[in-house]
Structure 1
């Protein structure tokens, strides 16, 4: 009995450290994104690794799988931010608005992805929250795409995801992670306002005169 108690305490200690490290790297990552600092991408990859472990243990399988996709998207976002959107583009990637075509693709992908993941999680796993797990997965993927392309509205998608994540993680007993997402929500609002100021400043900047 004493050995079992010690073993359970050790497991709980490891879980607490996993959640704490996810908390720290996640907060730093969002803070860096809000400031458009490219180092957010490697910090974000570290955050994804911690959350893969945490979510598998909590039975949030879609969220665990989502972290693997996030790692691939982080590599893409890192390259995109470094190259200004493409090999032929010079300078930092500018903040911009989401186009109508992008909204159409994101909406279609979000709805279909949520439906497909809900069905998969409900039938193939023991998830107790298949719809909410699928919904947050779809919202997070669309938001990350927008972040990779530096589109302003990606912050609104993150805000929507966070508003679902906060009670979801509390329900699953991940109270520190739920608290982290309250912090994420505040950082997302700050990021939205910061990127909006950047966009407004770029729009008000006079165009360079073309010599006669």
Structure 2
């Protein structure tokens, strides 16, 4: 226990200003996401671009790649959220996956894991290829679901966050590790908030029918 506490204190002391900015904007992004606030995307973009740089420094190559993917999906999600097919709404509403979308999600998850694990194991000096690939593949699926405003996105984020907590602590990014602990709590709250939002919208549609 003393080793863990000392590691936490030393890690926080050694945390760079850049990581503090990435953590702060990352937490803001997840909070805005839970609130269905469009600011999720500009704050998220700042965070992920910083993490591209940090992940490269710490040899978390899959994580570096997924943050580049986050950037692209953030731009797409930003556009998608504010361009609903129903012109009477300011944003698209929360929905759940159809059977086809579940198939796409599973294919994206398994396909990205297989590719990432193969590449990291054979072509990089990563010392955590399995765990790096696992968190990254769930995050890839989660970001796609988030951009499409799907309730299942929060399940993918919860799994990603729970695995990322010990992974980042092991790599010495202590503050980021605790960021993922906070992400986990927010993700649970986000799931409940989006579920409530979806149910309220369904009731509203039913009452108008």
TM-score normalised by the chain length of structure 1: 0.88
Change (3 A) 1:121 1:193: same
Aligned to 1:185: 184
* Aligned alpha-carbon RMSD (Å): 1.6
Aligned to 2:60: 60
1:100-179 maps to which residues of 2 (within 5 A)?
A: 100-179=99-178
Aligned to 1:208: 208
Which stretch shows the higher mean deviation, 200-209 or 19-28?
200-209
Aligned to 1:89: 86
Which runs of at least 4 in structure 1 moved beyond 3 Å after TM superposition?
A: 12-15
Tell me, in whole angstroms, the C-alpha distance in 1 between the residues paired with 2:45 and 2:110. 26
- Structure of larger gyration radius: 1
Tell me, in whole angstroms, the C-alpha distance in 1 between the residues paired with 2:13 and 2:68. 25
Residue 208 of structure 1 and its aligned partner are, at CA, apart by 2.4
Given that 2:142 and 2:154 are in contact with CA atoms closer than 8 Å, whether structure 1 keeps it comes out as yes
Tell me, in whole angstroms, the C-alpha distance in 2 between the residues paired with 1:141 and 1:108. 11
TM-score normalised by the chain length of structure 2: 0.89
Given that 2:113 and 2:134 are in contact with CA atoms closer than 8 Å, whether structure 1 keeps it comes out as yes
Given that 1:15 and 1:54 are in contact with CA atoms closer than 8 Å, whether structure 2 keeps it comes out as no
Residue 37 of structure 1 and its aligned partner are, at CA, apart by 0.3
Tell me, in whole angstroms, the C-alpha distance in 2 between the residues paired with 1:60 and 1:15. 17
Aligned to 1:32: 32
In structure 1, runs of 5+ residues without a counterpart are: 1-11
